[in-house]
């Protein structure tokens, strides 16, 4: 169960209500009126908790779990221990997410501006918004309703944030227009100058960075990630994108809708991604490229050419993923045949 | 045109004045007295704006642009649309930088110390310097003239910064001596302990880090970059170096003049770079190496040996770049010949 | 010698006392009563300072050094310049660490809460703890004795820190239970939501992250590193782990005792490391893996499978290190034989 020092809990809920929330079917023989008080992992859950099985690696933990109920795909239901109530779903992780949200709804911020926060007189603050201690809100900033601005966060002059945004502690935002329901974690830097210099042997001449960062609705941006503003065009993050920690997004980059950018990825300047592109951890994408919608980029790979829509690529330099794995296998065979001492 | 919420604009300027600023020649038939009011990208510029063409990828956008004027290399001038005034330059990007700076000069900070900033009584603050809310300036700190210290920035005891420095919001600087015209973006960490432990099976013993960080004039350091202080010798960043976001620079590292270090590069302890070295994104350089002046290191490459001056290297482990590309091609051929399914 | 603007110095100490501190033997002919006033690097040390030789790369600098005394392995003692007093140790770097700590003991914090710090009325602050300006300490936080909380640091509700912890400036900690003698550098983010989404073509559904971060005693965490809290289980950092700058540690990751994680490493969710694992710079470890105790992971390598205890691996994808180097050599030979232009 979640540590009550850190997490409030709603409920309890009946199995029937949880099935409804999860969009799941109750497994044979389970009691729809049984009450559950929280979610928990397979090994930590007890009779009063609901767990889930999504990754086949954990089938043994499922079979040994003492969870009172578990969300599971129908194909794996037979591995359940006796007496466990099942919630059958073709998307167990998604179903679990809905159930966990029900037990742990995000509380609305308590409106108000901390005494030590500094809000410029020209800024407009939406109803229900909370500004925590030490935060600094610049001139002409517009904050939507029910936003939460964390302690010591800094929002520079002219920025606009929509309703229900969360800005983490010690975060910095400048030169940005941000939609609704955007969550920005601690230490994120958005809107600083892109890395633009006219390089030369006598010194590198600074190129003024005159664009903005435009972030659409329902985006999440992980801790200590950096997103530079455009050089002239804008840097754009499409609706529903999820960006992990320590990601670098260069000037003029555009992400379509629903992209997933995993930790420590770097996307160089002026590259455009389509919709629902996935870039796994530590991948690097060179500048001025076009990555088609639905493309998938393997962890640590290095993208130096355009990637067609729907393609999966890996390696440095990156190849179509089957070709990449063939190369890995060929190199492995080579040393097996010719291998030294 | 730049969003007036975020950018002030100077001008307008005549084409003749812009040519002078850019060190460019006015193209045939253009009117030197025509007035322009801003810069803009090729696709966004209208008749009153000046654009530029530097990357051949964008020749089509140039040919279709509605920009009133454009800075371009003579060789590409013939592709200009009818009626566009040209500013001919052998270095269009550098020329554009000068023009953009003219339209968007960086305003001098408005001198003063915010009421919520905390400046130690022993610190000395140069004339014209501005210290924003929540900033904390430690004992015996010396700040030059016309510096701008951002909100919630922290400058530790004894640090010295020259004239015209900019320190971003939420930035931390300790144990550092910093020259003039140095720009440090938000979230940068300079001067913390290097990663020095005498490792052993019974535990890792902390090695006191007794050096400093010395940063020379005209350096830029990108958001959330980390530069550790020396272990005994100093960590040194040479004049005119440009360092991008999320870069790691270990203890005792020395960079010569004018190095360009792109985002997410890591340079391990005690490695020395010469002048005008370029390290592209996500490259890693092992410790205790010597990288000669003018060397160029490809993106994501892993440097494990010294690199001679002027060399270009790539791959992990890195080879001279032509050898690296030969290896890539050889591996590709191998699977084409022996390819699996 | 260390810059007195930044470092206080204890001593002087006699050579005999230093030998005792270092667990070293005084070399033949040296005067145990000779006094030394500081440590310094081989090239900077003078007659009054103690240096050390640990890395064979620096034997020439040792032979040319003007240091009055030097800590060195017996095997290299013969290279010492005439007149240098030697402190003979089988672990010169560890011995140096002890000596340097003696000259530069870390001062205890001066207890007190800065006027501009905000400490919630329900928080408990241990004796001797110092809270610097602008720090924000949330509800029910428990801080141990002699802790130092840096300027503008933010510690969220419910967190617990043991005795003698140091939290750097502009750092953010939430949802965490932290042991004694833990040092957290500037800009670290601990305890934010892990990257958990049920991904889907209609949008990515947030999965509540209901675990904590548990950090055991004697851990160091480098600047701007990010450690996400668990999704249900906890994220756990074992006692004595040393983590460098800009490292990403995903949700549910567990590190055993004494792991060394070098800068810019990424460890994806639910991976467990045993004790004393070393991961070199920029390595990436995929999720849900088991890395055995004593394993060593080469810089920039990409780990996609479990690694047995004691193994050394390298490359992307990673192989046992000798196999990896064989692959590198095979590829090199391939181009030498078949090489193009």
pLDDT tens track for A151-163: 999 999 999 999 9
- Look at residue C23 in the predicted model and tell me its pLDDT: 96
Chain B: closest CA distance from residue A110 (Å): 23
Mean pLDDT of chain C: 96
Q: State residue B201's pLDDT score.
A: 85
pLDDT digit string (tens) for B6-19?
999 999 999 999 99
Q: Which residue in B175, B216, B251, B324 is the catalytic one?
A: B251
Chain C residues touching A100 at Cβ < 8 A: 207-208, 210
Q: By CA distance, what is A96's nearest residue in C?
A: C207
CA distance B176 to B163: 15
N-term to C-term CA, chain C: 54
- B72 strand-pairing partners: B88
Q: C residues 104-133 near B, CB within 8 Å?
A: 104, 114, 116, 132-133
Give B300-312 pLDDT, tens digit per residue: 999 999 999 999 9
The CATH number fitting domain B178-341, selected from 3.30.230.70, 2.160.10.10, 2.130.10.10, 3.40.630.10: 2.160.10.10
Is any Cβ of chain A less than 8 angstroms from the Cβ of B281? yes
Residue spans in chain B of domains classed CATH 2.160.10.10: 178-341
Which chain A residues are Cβ-neighbours of C266 within 8 angstroms? 246, 263-264, 281-282
Report cis status (omega within 30 of 0) of the bond before A317: yes
Inter-helix orientation angle A321-338/C321-338, to 10°: 90
Please tell me the predicted confidence (pLDDT) of residue A337.
Answer: 58
Whole-number Å distance between alpha carbons of A325 and B1: 47
Q: What is the mean pLDDT of residues C211-227?
A: 98
**Arithmetic mean of pLDDT, B217-233:** 97
C44 in reach of chain B (CB within 8 A): yes
Nearest to A340 among C197, C198, C326 (CB): C326
Other C-beta atoms within 10 Å of C337: how many?
7
The separation between CA B1 and the C-alpha centre of its own chain, rounded to angstroms, equals 24
How is domain A171-341 classified at the architecture level of CATH? 3 Solenoid (2.160)
Distance separating alpha carbons of residues A96 and A101, to the nearest angstrom: 8
Preceding amide of B12 cis, omega within 30? yes
Mutate to test the interface with B, among A198, A262, A336 (most CBs of B within 10 A): A198
With bands split at pLDDT 50, 70 and 90, how would you rate the model's confidence at B339? very low
Pick the residue from chain B with its C-alpha nearest to A209: B100
Tell me the C-alpha distance between C58 and A180, whole Å.
58
Report the pLDDT value the prediction gives residue A291, as an integer from 0 to 100: 98
Q: For this structure, is C175 an active site residue?
A: no
Please, which pLDDT band fits residue B335 given cuts at 50, 70 and 90? confident
Closest Cβ opposite residue A170 in set C118, C172, C232: C172
Cβ neighbours of residue A337 under 8 Å, at least 6 residues apart? none
| Active-site residue set of A | 251
Please report residues of A whose CB lies closer than 8 A to that of C171: 170
The segment(s) of chain A belonging to CATH 2.160.10.10 are: 171-341
Q: Is B89 part of the contact surface with chain A (CB cutoff 8 Å)?
A: no
Whether the predicted pLDDT of B340 surpasses 70: no
- pLDDT tens track for B94-151: 999 999 999 999 989 999 999 999 999 999 999 999 999 999 999 999 999 999 999 9
**CATH fold of B13-103, please?**
3.40.1390
Please report, rounded to a whole number, the percentage of residues in chain B having pLDDT higher than 70.
99
C73 touches chain B (CB under 8 A): no
pLDDT for A329 beyond 60 = yes
A43 burial class (0-12, 13-18, 19+ CB within 10 angstroms)? middle
Model pLDDT for residues C41-51, shown as the tens digit of each residue? 999 999 999 99
Structure tokens at A318: 């990156």
Subunits in contact with chain B (3 or more CB pairs closer than 8 Å): A, C
Residues of C in contact with B232 (CB under 8 A): 39-41, 44
Task: Kindly determine whether residue A207 and residue B100, on different chains, have CB atoms separated by under 8 Å.
Answer: yes
Residue whose C-alpha is closest to residue A245's, from A169, A155, A183, A185: A185
Question: What pLDDT, on the 0 to 100 scale, is given for residue C337?
Answer: 58
Query: Are B284 and C262 within 8 A, CB to CB?
Result: no
Point out the residue among A170, A206, A334 whose CB comes nearest to the CB of B170. A170
**Tokens 């600087």 — which residue?**
B173
Contact B242 A152 (CB under 8 A): no
DSSP assignment letter at B105: P
Position C341 pLDDT exceeds 50: no
Test B195 with C335 for CB contact under 8 angstroms. no
Mean pLDDT, chain A, whole residue set: 96
Of these residues, C251, C272, C288, C324, which one is catalytic?
C251
Whole-angstrom Cα distance, residue C169 to residue A169? 12
């Amino acid at each position: 169960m979640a540590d009550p020092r850190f997490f409030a809990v709603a409920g309890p809920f009946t199995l029937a209500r949880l099935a409804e929330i999860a969009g799941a079917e109750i497994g044979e023989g389970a009691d729809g009126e049984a009450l559950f008080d929280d979610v928990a992992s397979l090994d930590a859950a007890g009779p009063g908790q609901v767990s889930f099985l999504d990754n086949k690696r954990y089938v043994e933990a499922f079979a040994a779990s003492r969870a009172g109920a578990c969300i599971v795909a129908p194909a794996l239901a037979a591995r359940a221990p006796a007496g466990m109530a099942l919630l059958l779903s073709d998307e167990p992780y998604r179903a679990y997410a809905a159930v966990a949200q029900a037990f742990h709804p995000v509380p609305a911020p308590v409106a108000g501006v901390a005494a030590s926060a500094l809000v410029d007189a020209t800024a407009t603050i939406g109803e229900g918004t909370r500004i925590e201690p030490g935060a600094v809100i610049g001139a002409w900033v517009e904050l939507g309703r029910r936003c939460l601005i964390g302690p010591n966060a800094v929002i520079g002059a002219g920025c606009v944030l929509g309703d229900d945004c969360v800005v983490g502690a010690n975060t910095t935002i400048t030169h940005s227009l941000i939609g609704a329901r955007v969550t920005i974690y601690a230490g994120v830097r958005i809107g600083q100058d892109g890395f633009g210099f006219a390089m030369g042997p006598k010194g590198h001449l600074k190129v003024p960075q005159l664009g903005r960062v435009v972030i659409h609705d329902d985006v999440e941006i992980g801790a200590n990630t950096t997103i530079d503003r455009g050089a002239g065009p804008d840097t754009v993050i499409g609706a529903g994108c999820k960006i992990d920690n320590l990601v670098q997004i260069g000037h003029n980059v555009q992400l379509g809708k629903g992209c997933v950018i995993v930790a420590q990825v770097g996307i160089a300047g002026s590259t455009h991604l389509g919709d629902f592109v996935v870039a796994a951890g530590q991948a690097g994408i060179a500048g001025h490229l076009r990555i088609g919608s639905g493309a998938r980029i393997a962890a640590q790979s290095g993208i130096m050419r355009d990637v067609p829509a729907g393609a999966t690529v890996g390696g440095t330099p990156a190849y179509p993923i089957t070709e990449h794995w063939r190369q890995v296998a060929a190199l492995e065979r080579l040393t097996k045949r010719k291998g030294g001492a």
